[in-house]
Amino acid sequence: MKKDAKIYVAGHRGLVGSALINQLSQQGYTNLLTRTHAELDLTNQNAVKKFFSEEKPEYVFLAAAKVGGIHANNTYPAEFIHQNLAIQTNVIHESYVNGVKRLLFLGSSCIYPKFAPQPMKEEHLLTGALEPTNRPYALAKIAGIEMCWSYNRQYGTQYLAAMPTNLYGPGDNYHPENSHVIPALIRKFHEAKVNNQSVVTVWGTGTPKREFLCNEDMADACVFLMQLPDNQFQKLLESDESASGKLQPPLVNVGYGSDITIKVLAETVQKIIGHQGNIQFDTSKPDGTLRKLMDATILHQAGWQPKVSIEAGLEIAYQDFLKHH
Ligand SMILES: NC(=O)C1=CN([C@@H]2O[C@H](COP(=O)(O)OP(=O)(O)OC[C@H]3O[C@@H](n4cnc5c(N)ncnc54)[C@H](OP(=O)(O)O)[C@@H]3O)[C@@H](O)[C@H]2O)C=CC1
Ligand SMILES: C[C@H]1O[C@H](OP(=O)(O)OP(=O)(O)OC[C@H]2O[C@@H](n3cnc4c(=O)[nH]c(N)nc43)[C@H](O)[C@@H]2O)[C@@H](O)[C@@H](O)C1=O
């Protein structure tokens, strides 16, 4: 990507999109193209068509999506499948029609089977049943991967799908019910501290494990992937050398490398916030997948590693929460 290349960051005000804008700006990219949701509804086929034909971006980071935690996914399944299918279909197709050089589609670790072997490799896609709490979202993301792969095969495009693990960081959504676990716990422990409440309720049993990556690292990995020289990028698109010997979609895992239980996460957040008191587990709430650690060997072999530890990342996230609440 040349420094003056026209780069469209879809979803630039979101957790990942905002970090992408920071990362690209810091690296000297000067021609960033953005539209807010109000300016361009990516579920609107005609609006997306008009936007791409007028603007002709050269590179696309597709970080716009309907996103939420376990409760939101479970409560609004129709919105999750409809909006994600529409956004990605419109953006991927118009990228093809308008000659976009490279596109990075962001999926999610929930595309892998609920009981996939751990750590989960790219080749585990479509080898078993999905976790029910986020199946509509996961199926939309799987369709997005298949669409990237199909366009690459039929039209020779260069569309790569990156699968992030659970993300957090500055600019997160701190909604009490609809957010992911880290922003939810930051809010709960902070509110308990300022209101002198001794007990904080954490959903589920506390035993599920999650792998967490800071949005700054996620954006760094996305830019790293899009900057790969042609031969290396092409190799990721055509990675058919899996252990199973089967053809593989253009898919790459983006993870931190280790996971922790929700109980340990809650205790860590409690300590960082300085809340004194007890944690109680509400087992009427779903646990979701028990474990979903990614195997990020492909990305590591390409030369990328995360930089932000979970403790450092949680500190940064809490400071961001304090700035805005
Ligand atoms: N956060 C996480 O833990 C994980 C995220 N991912 C994936 O990473 C990507 C980025 O997620 P994240 O940054 O967390 O999500 P956010 O919800 O923070 O940001 C998504 C962005 O997309 C925009 N958007 C949503 N719908 C539309 C639409 N119809 N038209 C235009 N813009 C729209 C939102 O705008 P507005 O808010 O105004 O609607 C928002 O700016 C997504 O593909 C997500 O699936 C994958 C795994 C984990
Ligand atoms: C990234 C990923 O995010 C979603 O999946 P998830 O990993 O299950 O997401 P989560 O962050 O919401 O929960 C993680 C764990 O944490 C527990 N938990 C405890 N207490 C709270 C709590 O207060 N809020 C939330 N949200 N969870 C809590 C919760 O019960 C669960 O065991 C997908 O739907 C899908 O969107 C997706 O791809």
Decide: 95 in ligand 2 pocket, CB within 6 A: no
* Residue 172 alpha carbon, nearest atom of ligand 1: 18
Q: In a mutational test of the pocket of ligand 2, which residue from 108, 174, 203 has the highest number of ligand atoms less than 8 Å from its CB?
A: 203
Decide: 16 in ligand 1 pocket, CB within 6 A: yes
137 among known catalytic residues: yes
3-state secondary structure the chain: CCCCCCEEEECCCCHHHHHHHHHHHHCCCCCEECCCCCCCCCCCHHHHHHHHHHHCCCEEEECCCCCCCHHHHHHCHHHHHHHHHHHHHHHHHHHHHCCCCEEEEECCHHHCCCCCCCCECHHHCCCCCCCHHHHHHHHHHHHHHHHHHHHHHHHCCCEEEEEECEEECCCCCCCCCCCCHHHHHHHHHHHHHHCCCCEEEEECCCCCEECEEEHHHHHHHHHHHHHCCHHHHHHHHCCCCCCCCCCCCCEEEECCCCCEEHHHHHHHHHHHHCCCCEEEEECCCCCCCCCCCECCHHHHHHCCCCCCCHHHHHHHHHHHHHHHC
Decide: 66 in ligand 1 pocket, CB within 6 A: yes
From 8, 29, 96, 137, active-site residue: 137
Q: What is the pLDDT along the chain (325 residues), one digit of tens a residue?
A: 999 999 999 999 999 999 999 999 999 999 999 999 999 999 999 999 999 999 999 999 999 999 999 999 999 999 999 999 999 999 999 999 999 999 999 999 999 999 999 999 999 999 999 999 999 999 999 999 999 999 999 999 999 999 999 999 999 999 999 999 999 999 999 999 999 999 999 999 999 999 999 999 999 999 999 999 999 999 999 865 555 666 789 999 999 999 999 999 999 999 999 999 999 999 999 999 999 999 999 999 999 999 999 999 999 999 999 999 8
